[in-house]
Amino acid sequence: TEDIGLALGSALAEAVGEKKGIFRYGHSYVPMDEALIRAALDLSGRPEFVFSGEFTQPSIGQLDTQMINHFFKSLAISSKMTLHLSILYGINDHHKCEGMFKSMARALRMAVESDPRRTEVVSTKGSL
């Protein structure tokens, strides 16, 4: 799980390159049945992972629930993004986990989207 997060993060960092002309920031709320998940991220070049929430079971099928956070932390570090994920509420661990992945993916889509108003990096300093 860690290796997958590291590999995907490295590929993401390479794909966004200098981050010129993209929105850079993304956020998303995803309702997954009774669970509600929030993701917010910044392709800042400063890796950070903040998680709020909990799982009630030690595993979902064969997936150790501790590895879910480890995956997202590895992804954030290797892609050099700041990523905040919050399980706002929910009962079913499968719904919480699925919502985390979908919410992060939707936020990432928003962040990497091309911003036609910008040709440079979104930063007051002009670089990240």
| Amino acid present at 83 | L
pLDDT of residue 64: 97
Three-state secondary structure string covering 35-67: EEEEEEEECCCCCEEEEECCCCCCEECCEEHHH
Q: Kindly report the length of the chain.
A: 128
* Reported confidence tier of residue 83, pLDDT bands at 50, 70, 90: very high
Backbone angles phi, psi at 63, to 5 degrees: -90, 115
CB atoms within 10 A of CB 13: 17
pTM across the whole model: 0.90
**Top CATH class, 2-15+24-112:** alpha beta
**Is the per-residue pLDDT at 79 higher than 70?**
yes
Determine how β-strand 82-89 pairs with β-strand 35-42. antiparallel
